[in-house]
Amino acid sequence: MKKILELTPDAEALFVRRDNRFLATVDIVQPFKEADVFAHIHDPGRLKEILIEGNRLLLKRAQNPQRKTKWDVIAGKVNHNWVLIHSGYHRKIAEAILRQPEISPFKERYEIKPEPKYKRARLDFLLKKGEEAIWVETKGCTLAVDGVALFPDAPTKRGKRHVEHLIEIRSTGERAAVIFLVFRSDAEVFSPNWETDREFAQTLKVAQEEGVELYALKLSYDAKAISFVEPIPVNL
Protein backbone atom coordinates (compact mmCIF):
# COMPACT_ATOMS: atom_id res chain seq x y z
CA MET A 1 0.00 0.00 0.00
CA LYS A 2 1.08 3.57 -0.64
CA LYS A 3 -0.19 6.51 1.40
CA ILE A 4 -1.56 9.24 -0.86
CA LEU A 5 -3.62 11.60 1.32
CA GLU A 6 -3.64 12.29 5.04
CA LEU A 7 -7.16 12.63 6.43
CA THR A 8 -7.60 12.76 10.20
CA PRO A 9 -11.14 12.93 11.60
CA ASP A 10 -12.14 15.29 14.40
CA ALA A 11 -14.84 13.09 15.95
CA GLU A 12 -16.51 9.71 15.91
CA ALA A 13 -20.29 9.43 15.90
CA LEU A 14 -23.21 7.02 15.63
CA PHE A 15 -25.67 7.42 12.79
CA VAL A 16 -29.23 8.29 13.85
CA ARG A 17 -31.10 9.13 10.64
CA ARG A 18 -30.78 10.69 7.20
CA ASP A 19 -32.92 13.81 7.24
CA ASN A 20 -32.52 14.48 3.53
CA ARG A 21 -30.13 13.72 0.69
CA PHE A 22 -27.31 15.82 2.15
CA LEU A 23 -28.09 15.96 5.88
CA ALA A 24 -27.77 13.40 8.68
CA THR A 25 -28.49 13.46 12.38
CA VAL A 26 -25.74 11.81 14.44
CA ASP A 27 -24.74 11.31 18.06
CA ILE A 28 -21.11 12.27 18.69
CA VAL A 29 -19.40 9.81 21.05
CA GLN A 30 -15.68 10.73 20.77
CA PRO A 31 -13.78 12.87 21.85
CA PHE A 32 -16.89 14.25 23.60
CA LYS A 33 -20.56 13.33 23.71
CA GLU A 34 -23.32 15.31 22.04
CA ALA A 35 -26.66 13.99 20.80
CA ASP A 36 -28.74 14.98 17.77
CA VAL A 37 -26.01 16.81 15.85
CA PHE A 38 -26.50 17.73 12.19
CA ALA A 39 -23.77 16.61 9.79
CA HIS A 40 -23.43 17.22 6.05
CA ILE A 41 -23.38 14.18 3.72
CA HIS A 42 -21.17 15.04 0.73
CA ASP A 43 -22.35 12.10 -1.38
CA PRO A 44 -25.58 11.88 -3.41
CA GLY A 45 -25.65 8.06 -3.28
CA ARG A 46 -28.05 5.96 -1.24
CA LEU A 47 -25.30 4.55 1.04
CA LYS A 48 -27.80 2.05 2.45
CA GLU A 49 -25.09 -0.34 3.63
CA ILE A 50 -23.37 2.49 5.56
CA LEU A 51 -26.05 4.87 6.83
CA ILE A 52 -27.64 2.35 9.18
CA GLU A 53 -28.98 3.34 12.60
CA GLY A 54 -26.24 2.93 15.18
CA ASN A 55 -23.43 2.51 12.65
CA ARG A 56 -20.11 4.22 13.40
CA LEU A 57 -19.15 7.30 11.41
CA LEU A 58 -16.14 9.60 11.26
CA LEU A 59 -16.68 13.36 11.17
CA LYS A 60 -14.59 16.39 10.31
CA ARG A 61 -15.33 19.95 11.35
CA ALA A 62 -16.54 22.18 8.52
CA GLN A 63 -13.78 24.45 7.23
CA ASN A 64 -16.18 27.40 7.13
CA PRO A 65 -17.11 28.23 10.75
CA GLN A 66 -20.09 30.28 9.50
CA ARG A 67 -21.70 27.27 7.83
CA LYS A 68 -24.98 26.14 9.40
CA THR A 69 -23.91 22.50 9.44
CA LYS A 70 -20.75 22.38 11.59
CA TRP A 71 -19.73 18.82 10.68
CA ASP A 72 -19.02 16.72 7.57
CA VAL A 73 -19.42 12.95 7.46
CA ILE A 74 -16.22 11.57 5.94
CA ALA A 75 -16.46 7.79 6.47
CA GLY A 76 -18.62 4.95 7.74
CA LYS A 77 -17.84 1.48 9.06
CA VAL A 78 -18.48 -1.58 6.85
CA ASN A 79 -17.26 -5.06 7.79
CA HIS A 80 -14.76 -3.62 10.30
CA ASN A 81 -13.27 -1.28 7.67
CA TRP A 82 -13.69 2.47 7.20
CA VAL A 83 -15.22 3.47 3.85
CA LEU A 84 -14.73 7.05 2.64
CA ILE A 85 -18.09 8.61 1.72
CA HIS A 86 -17.08 12.25 1.22
CA SER A 87 -16.88 12.86 -2.53
CA GLY A 88 -15.20 16.22 -1.96
CA TYR A 89 -11.90 14.36 -1.56
CA HIS A 90 -12.14 12.39 -4.80
CA ARG A 91 -10.33 14.91 -6.98
CA LYS A 92 -7.45 15.31 -4.51
CA ILE A 93 -7.07 11.54 -4.28
CA ALA A 94 -7.18 11.08 -8.06
CA GLU A 95 -4.67 13.89 -8.66
CA ALA A 96 -2.29 12.42 -6.07
CA ILE A 97 -2.43 9.10 -7.94
CA LEU A 98 -1.98 10.69 -11.37
CA ARG A 99 1.14 12.50 -10.16
CA GLN A 100 2.86 9.21 -9.29
CA PRO A 101 3.67 7.10 -12.37
CA GLU A 102 4.32 4.01 -10.26
CA ILE A 103 0.62 3.85 -9.26
CA SER A 104 -1.04 5.88 -12.02
CA PRO A 105 -2.92 3.74 -14.55
CA PHE A 106 -1.13 5.71 -17.29
CA LYS A 107 2.37 4.85 -15.99
CA GLU A 108 3.92 8.18 -17.07
CA ARG A 109 4.17 11.72 -15.77
CA TYR A 110 1.80 14.22 -17.40
CA GLU A 111 0.96 17.87 -17.01
CA ILE A 112 -2.35 17.88 -15.15
CA LYS A 113 -5.09 20.42 -15.85
CA PRO A 114 -8.00 20.14 -13.38
CA GLU A 115 -11.60 20.74 -14.47
CA PRO A 116 -11.03 21.17 -18.22
CA LYS A 117 -14.02 22.50 -20.13
CA TYR A 118 -15.59 20.31 -22.79
CA LYS A 119 -18.46 22.01 -24.65
CA ARG A 120 -20.78 23.15 -21.83
CA ALA A 121 -19.49 20.63 -19.30
CA ARG A 122 -16.38 20.19 -17.21
CA LEU A 123 -14.55 16.92 -16.76
CA ASP A 124 -12.16 16.17 -13.92
CA PHE A 125 -8.76 16.25 -15.62
CA LEU A 126 -6.95 16.82 -18.89
CA LEU A 127 -3.53 15.18 -18.98
CA LYS A 128 -1.01 16.48 -21.51
CA LYS A 129 2.41 15.35 -22.60
CA GLY A 130 3.69 16.88 -25.81
CA GLU A 131 1.01 16.30 -28.43
CA GLU A 132 -0.71 13.59 -26.40
CA ALA A 133 -3.87 14.37 -24.42
CA ILE A 134 -5.97 12.19 -22.12
CA TRP A 135 -9.36 13.36 -20.86
CA VAL A 136 -10.16 11.78 -17.50
CA GLU A 137 -13.31 11.50 -15.42
CA THR A 138 -13.23 10.01 -11.89
CA LYS A 139 -16.03 8.34 -9.93
CA GLY A 140 -16.06 7.19 -6.32
CA CYS A 141 -17.39 3.73 -5.49
CA THR A 142 -18.57 2.84 -1.97
CA LEU A 143 -20.81 -0.17 -2.66
CA ALA A 144 -19.61 -3.77 -2.88
CA VAL A 145 -21.55 -7.04 -2.88
CA ASP A 146 -19.79 -10.40 -2.55
CA GLY A 147 -16.44 -8.89 -3.52
CA VAL A 148 -17.80 -6.95 -6.51
CA ALA A 149 -17.52 -3.15 -6.37
CA LEU A 150 -20.63 -1.59 -7.96
CA PHE A 151 -21.19 1.92 -9.33
CA PRO A 152 -23.48 3.76 -9.06
CA ASP A 153 -25.53 2.99 -5.96
CA ALA A 154 -28.21 5.43 -7.18
CA PRO A 155 -29.18 6.44 -10.75
CA THR A 156 -26.81 9.10 -12.15
CA LYS A 157 -27.80 11.03 -15.25
CA ARG A 158 -24.81 13.31 -14.68
CA GLY A 159 -22.45 10.34 -14.66
CA LYS A 160 -23.98 9.05 -17.89
CA ARG A 161 -23.46 12.45 -19.55
CA HIS A 162 -19.80 12.47 -18.52
CA VAL A 163 -19.25 9.07 -20.14
CA GLU A 164 -21.04 10.24 -23.28
CA HIS A 165 -18.65 13.21 -23.47
CA LEU A 166 -15.71 10.82 -23.24
CA ILE A 167 -17.14 8.74 -26.08
CA GLU A 168 -17.35 11.91 -28.22
CA ILE A 169 -13.77 12.85 -27.33
CA ARG A 170 -12.52 9.37 -28.17
CA SER A 171 -14.23 9.57 -31.57
CA THR A 172 -11.91 12.50 -32.43
CA GLY A 173 -8.86 10.29 -31.87
CA GLU A 174 -7.85 11.62 -28.44
CA ARG A 175 -7.56 9.32 -25.44
CA ALA A 176 -10.32 9.28 -22.83
CA ALA A 177 -10.62 7.38 -19.56
CA VAL A 178 -12.82 6.76 -16.53
CA ILE A 179 -11.12 6.00 -13.22
CA PHE A 180 -13.28 4.39 -10.53
CA LEU A 181 -11.93 5.05 -7.05
CA VAL A 182 -13.03 1.97 -5.11
CA PHE A 183 -13.17 2.64 -1.38
CA ARG A 184 -14.06 -0.94 -0.46
CA SER A 185 -11.06 -2.98 0.64
CA ASP A 186 -13.16 -6.17 0.29
CA ALA A 187 -13.67 -5.63 -3.46
CA GLU A 188 -11.78 -7.85 -5.90
CA VAL A 189 -13.42 -6.78 -9.17
CA PHE A 190 -15.42 -3.78 -10.43
CA SER A 191 -18.68 -3.83 -12.38
CA PRO A 192 -21.22 -1.18 -13.33
CA ASN A 193 -24.41 -1.55 -11.30
CA TRP A 194 -26.75 -2.87 -13.98
CA GLU A 195 -29.60 -3.40 -11.54
CA THR A 196 -29.59 0.17 -10.19
CA ASP A 197 -28.79 2.15 -13.36
CA ARG A 198 -28.93 0.14 -16.55
CA GLU A 199 -28.58 3.25 -18.74
CA PHE A 200 -25.27 4.20 -17.13
CA ALA A 201 -24.02 0.62 -17.34
CA GLN A 202 -24.95 0.34 -21.01
CA THR A 203 -23.27 3.68 -21.78
CA LEU A 204 -20.12 2.50 -20.01
CA LYS A 205 -20.15 -0.69 -22.08
CA VAL A 206 -20.44 1.34 -25.29
CA ALA A 207 -17.59 3.57 -24.07
CA GLN A 208 -15.31 0.57 -23.62
CA GLU A 209 -16.22 -0.72 -27.09
CA GLU A 210 -15.37 2.71 -28.55
CA GLY A 211 -11.95 2.74 -26.91
CA VAL A 212 -12.54 4.72 -23.72
CA GLU A 213 -10.14 3.31 -21.11
CA LEU A 214 -11.70 2.01 -17.87
CA TYR A 215 -9.72 1.61 -14.66
CA ALA A 216 -10.71 0.60 -11.11
CA LEU A 217 -8.30 1.41 -8.29
CA LYS A 218 -8.78 -0.04 -4.81
CA LEU A 219 -8.07 2.30 -1.88
CA SER A 220 -8.17 1.92 1.89
CA TYR A 221 -8.75 4.32 4.77
CA ASP A 222 -7.43 3.69 8.29
CA ALA A 223 -8.88 6.83 9.92
CA LYS A 224 -5.53 8.55 9.40
CA ALA A 225 -4.84 8.47 5.66
CA ILE A 226 -6.11 7.25 2.30
CA SER A 227 -3.79 4.64 0.76
CA PHE A 228 -3.58 3.14 -2.72
CA VAL A 229 -3.89 -0.66 -2.55
CA GLU A 230 -3.97 -2.02 -6.10
CA PRO A 231 -5.81 -1.89 -9.42
CA ILE A 232 -8.65 -4.41 -9.76
CA PRO A 233 -10.21 -5.86 -12.94
CA VAL A 234 -13.15 -4.15 -14.66
CA ASN A 235 -15.86 -6.60 -15.66
CA LEU A 236 -18.74 -5.28 -17.75
End-to-end CA separation in angstroms for the chain: 26
pLDDT tens, residue by residue, 76-112: 999 999 999 999 999 999 999 999 999 999 999 999 9
Of the residues 84, 99, 134, which one is the last residue of a structural domain? 84
To the nearest whole number, what is the mean pLDDT of the chain?
96
CA distance 227 to 218: 9
Domain identity same for 131 and 35: no
Asked, for residue 3, whether it belongs to a domain, the answer is no
Please tell me the predicted confidence (pLDDT) of residue 130. Answer: 93
Domain identity same for 213 and 108: yes
Convert 64-109 into a string of H (helix), E (strand) and C (coil). Answer: CCCCCCCEEEEEEEECCEEEECCHHHHHHHHHHHHCCCCCCCCCCC
Q: Among 71, 62, 64, which residue's Cα sits nearest to residue 34? A: 71
pLDDT tens, residue by residue, 147-191: 999 999 999 999 999 999 999 999 999 999 999 999 999 999 999
Domain identity same for 53 and 126: no
Please tell me the predicted confidence (pLDDT) of residue 193. Answer: 97
Domain count, the chain: 2
Domain identity same for 108 and 197: yes
Residue pair 108/149 in contact by the 8 Å Cβ criterion: no
Domain identity same for 200 and 110: yes
Asked, for residue 1, whether it belongs to a domain, the answer is no
